[in-house]
Amino acid sequence: MDLRPLLRQASASVQDPETGFTPLHAAIAACSPEDEDTVDGPNQRQNGQLKEETTSDDLEAAVKTVKLLLQNGAIWNDLDNNNETPGCLAHRLGLKELYELMVDAGVRAELLLSRLDEYEQLENSGEEDDEDVTDRDEPDIPEANLETKGVPTEQMNVDVNSEGYLRSELTFQDDKLLDADANGVMMAWEADIMKRTADLLLPKPGLRVLNVGHGLGIIDTYFQSLSPQSHHIIEAHPAVLAKLRRGGWYEKLGVVIHEGRWQDVLPKLVQENLVFDAIYFDTFAEDYKALREFFSEYVIGLLDPQGGGDGSGGRWGFFNGLGADRRICYDVYAKVVELDLSEAGFDTEWEEITVPDLDKSGEWEGVRRKYWVLNKYKLPICRFLD
Ligand SMILES: C[S@@+](CC[C@H](N)C(=O)[O-])C[C@H]1O[C@@H](n2cnc3c(N)ncnc32)[C@H](O)[C@@H]1O
C-alpha cells in the first residue's frame, strides 16, 4: 500500500488510542520476528497470523516506510503506552538497522533543536534586526521535534536547577551524595568509571590536572594516587567545600581549590594562562548547553596542546550521563556530543565499561529517581584534532 497519499492528508505522528503506537511504531512492529509476547503483549495476537521470523523483504519494506515517515515529519521520540519510543521498540525486537535509523533521526532532531535554540538566543540578544526575524525564516518542523523529551540526565535533571541545587542542603552517606530532594548527586557505583577515567587522563606521574566538581571526591582521590604535579579542583557547593576542608584537601601538596562556579572561576584561570595535561568535568543540575559551553569556550584555552607528558597533547573527559535513563537517548546524545566536540576541534575516543545491575544491588534505595538504567557506560576521552 502506498503511504504517500495518506501522508498528504494526515500527520505522520498520529497515535493509536489503544496502544499509543505512532506509524513509526507500527512500521517497526510489523517487521518483528515476534512471538505473541514481544510486541503488544499477549492479548494483541491477531488471528494467529504472527510471523516466525523477519525476512529481508520485511526489513527492506520497514526501512523504506520508516524513512518515508521521518521525511514526512514523524517524531523520533514519541512514546507508546508501553513507554517506548519507536527506537526502543526496534532495540527490544533486535532490529538493529531500524534502531540505527531511529538513532540518526534523533541526532538530526536534537542538532536542529540546538541550532534553533542558538538562533533564538541571537534573536533575543538583539543582534538580529527584528524585522528580519519573522516566522517565515523559521524552518518548517513539527513542534514536538524540538523537545528533548526523555533526556533527563544526571547533568540535565529536569526538575533540578543549578541555582536551587547550590543553595540546597546535602546529605553525605557512605555510598552516595544526595541533594535536599534525595536526587543522587554522586553515587559510589560510579567508582570504576572514575578510576578508569583517571587512569586514561593521567597515564604517568607528574602531570597537571584540573577537576571540575568534587562530589564524593572519588576521582580526585584517584587523581591523587597518580601523583600529579599540580591538582586544581573547582567546587561550588558550600557543603562540599566544607567537606574538602575537613578532609585536609586544602593542605595537600600541589592541590589548589577554587571555590565557586566554574563559570566564574575559569575565565580567571584562562587569564592567568594556566594550562593542564588533563581536565575532567562532572557537575550536577546543569544541562547539555553548559557542557558544550565548557568545552567550546574553556577547554580550548586550558588544555595544553603539547601536554600529556609525552607531547602528544592534553586529554580531557566528562561524566557521560546524557540521556542515560533511556538507551536510545544515550546513543543519540553520544553522537550529538561527538559532533559538537568535533566542531569545537576535539577528537573523541570511547571506551565501554560494564555497569552492574544497580537494581539488584539496591543502589537506588532512598534515591528519588534513577538517572542510570544501562548496562554499558561510554567513557569519552577527547584530544585536540590533529
Ligand atoms: C557528580 S558530583 C562530582 C563527582 C566526582 N566526579 C566524584 O568522583 O566524586 C558534581 C559536583 O559538582 C559540583 N558542582 C555543581 N555545579 C557546579 C558548578 N557550576 N561549578 C562547580 N562545581 C559544581 C557539585 O556541588 C558536586 O560536588
Q: In the predicted model, is pLDDT for residue 354 greater than 80?
A: yes
Q: In the predicted model, is pLDDT for residue 207 greater than 70?
A: yes
Q: In the predicted model, is pLDDT for residue 149 greater than 80?
A: no
Q: What percentage of the chain exceeds 70 in pLDDT?
A: 85
pLDDT at res. 313: 96
Equal CATH topology for 1-149 and 162-384: no
Mean per-residue pLDDT, 111-129: 78
Residue 202's φ and ψ, nearest 5 degrees, are -120, 80
Mean per-residue pLDDT, 1-20: 90
pLDDT at res. 44: 42
* Of 214, 259, 265, 291, best ligand 1 pocket probe by most atoms within 8 Å of the beta carbon: 214
Q: 39, 102 in Cβ contact below 8 A?
A: no
Task: Please report which confidence band the pLDDT of residue 251 belongs to, taking 50, 70 and 90 as the band edges.
Answer: very high
What is the sign, positive or negative, of the torsion defined by CA atoms of 7, 10, 16, 22?
positive
Nearest CA to ligand 1 atom 26: 215
Is the CB of 265 within 6 Å of ligand 1? no
Q: 175, 196 in Cβ contact below 8 A?
A: no
pLDDT at res. 127: 55
Q: In the predicted model, is pLDDT for residue 36 greater than 80?
A: no
Task: Please report which confidence band the pLDDT of residue 51 belongs to, taking 50, 70 and 90 as the band edges.
Answer: low
Is the CB of 194 within 6 Å of ligand 1? yes
User: Under 8 Å CB-to-CB from 368, ≥6 apart: which residues?
Assistant: 181, 182, 183, 184
Task: Classify domain 1-149 at the CATH topology level.
Answer: 1.25.40
User: Could you report how far apart the first and last alpha carbons of the chain are, in Å?
Assistant: 51
pLDDT at res. 34: 57
Sheet with 255-259: strands ordered across: 255-259, 230-235, 208-212, 278-281, 315-318, 376-384, 346-354
Rounded to the nearest integer, the mean pLDDT of the chain is 88
pLDDT at res. 3: 87
Task: Please report which confidence band the pLDDT of residue 178 belongs to, taking 50, 70 and 90 as the band edges.
Answer: very high
Distance CA 323, CA 331 (A): 8
Task: Please report which confidence band the pLDDT of residue 342 belongs to, taking 50, 70 and 90 as the band edges.
Answer: very high
Q: Name the β-bridge partners of 177.
A: 172, 186
3-state secondary structure of 278: strand
Task: Please report which confidence band the pLDDT of residue 139 belongs to, taking 50, 70 and 90 as the band edges.
Answer: very low
Residue bearing the bigger pLDDT, 148 or 270: 270
Q: In the predicted model, is pLDDT for residue 78 greater than 90?
A: yes
* Residue range 162-384 in CATH 3.40.50.150: yes
Max Cα separation, the chain?
74
What is the sign, positive or negative, of the torsion defined by CA atoms of 231, 232, 236, 241?
positive
Distance 210 CA to ligand 1 centre (A): 13
Q: In the predicted model, is pLDDT for residue 82 greater than 70?
A: yes
pLDDT at res. 226: 98
pLDDT at res. 152: 45
Mean per-residue pLDDT, 3-31: 93
Is the CB of 236 within 6 Å of ligand 1? yes
Give the atom of ligand 1 at the shortest distance from the alpha carbon of 217: 9
N residues, the chain: 386
Question: 284-339: per-residue pLDDT in tens?
Answer: 999 999 999 999 999 999 999 999 999 899 999 999 999 999 999 999 999 999 99
Distance 221 CA to ligand 1 centre (A): 14
Question: 208-248: per-residue pLDDT in tens?
Answer: 999 999 999 999 999 999 999 999 999 999 999 999 999 99
Is the CB of 193 within 6 Å of ligand 1? no
SS3 per-residue string spanning the chain: CCCHHHHHHCCCCCCCCCCCCCHHHHHHHHCCCCCCCCCCCHHHCCCCCCCCCCCHHHHHHHHHHHHHHHHCCCCCCCCCCCCCCHHHHHHHCCCHHHHHHHHHHHHHHHHHHHHHHHHHHHHHCCCCCHHHCCHHHCCCCCHHHHCCCCCCCCCCCCCCCHHHHHHCCCEECCCEEECCCCCEEEEHHHHHHHHHHHHHHCCCCCCEEEEECCCCCHHHHHHHHCCCCEEEEEECCHHHHHHHHHCCHHHCCCEEEEECCHHHHHHHHHHCCCCECEEEECCCCCCHHHHHHHHHHHHHHHECCCCCCCCCCCEEEECCCCCCCCHHHHHHHHHHHHHHHHHCCEEEEEEEEECCCCCCCCCCCCCCCCCCCCCEEEEEEEEECC
pLDDT at res. 154: 41
